[in-house]
């Protein structure tokens, strides 16, 4: 099959170029380490803050939020290699100073790490 061709053999032409906002951005990897954030400009001139490294998590314990130090990434359901690399992703089980917790937000999209306590 000739990709991008009509049945007659003619070419399909794009009616416009890709806009900047439609382009893919670089993958934002969040690792365990001393807190480091980055701010980027998004659509409408607004700003988005995301985390590059973090060693602090907002952990929910009995309905109250507490700041806890992240010690290690225990496991990640998406990819077992993420835990080895100490990458912070949504759903990852982390070991904190309060106990084991599960990350409930996407640190690569937000400027902090939220987690909920799952055990001591």
DSSP per residue, the chain? --TTB-TTSPBP--SSPPPGGGSPPPP---EESS-EEEEEE-GGG-EEEEEEEESEEEEEETTEEEEEEEEEEEE-SS-HHHHHTTB--TT-EEEETTEEEEE-S-TTTSSS-EEEEEE-
Those residues with Cβ within 8 angstroms of residue 8's Cβ, 6 or more apart along the chain or in another chain: none
Q: In what order do the strands lie in the sheet with 47-54?
A: 31-32, 47-54, 36-41
pLDDT of residue 120: 61
Q: Are residues 57 and 113 in contact, defined by beta-carbon separation less than 8 angstroms?
A: yes
pLDDT tens, position by position, for the chain (120 residues)? Answer: 466 788 898 988 888 998 888 888 888 899 999 999 999 888 889 998 989 999 999 999 988 999 999 999 999 999 999 999 999 999 999 999 999 999 999 998 889 999 999 966
pLDDT of residue 27: 86
pLDDT of residue 5: 86
What are the boundaries of each domain within the chain?
A: 27-119
pLDDT of residue 66: 94
pLDDT of residue 58: 96
Name the CATH topology of 27-119: 3.10.290
């Amino acid at each position: 099959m000739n990709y991008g061709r009509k049945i007659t053999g003619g070419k399909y032409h794009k009616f416009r170029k890709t806009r900047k906002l439609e382009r893919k951005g670089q993958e934002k990897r969040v690792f365990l380490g001393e807190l480091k954030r980055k701010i980027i400009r998004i659509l409408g001139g607004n700003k988005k803050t995301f985390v590059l490294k973090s060693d602090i998590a907002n952990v929910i314990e009995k309905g109250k939020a507490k700041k806890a130090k992240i010690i290690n990434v225990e496991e990640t359901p998406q990819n077992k290699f993420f835990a080895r690399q100490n990458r912070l992703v949504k759903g990852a089980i982390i070991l904190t100073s309060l106990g084991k917790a599960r990350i409930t937000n996407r640190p690569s999209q937000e400027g902090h790490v939220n987690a909920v306590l799952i055990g001591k």
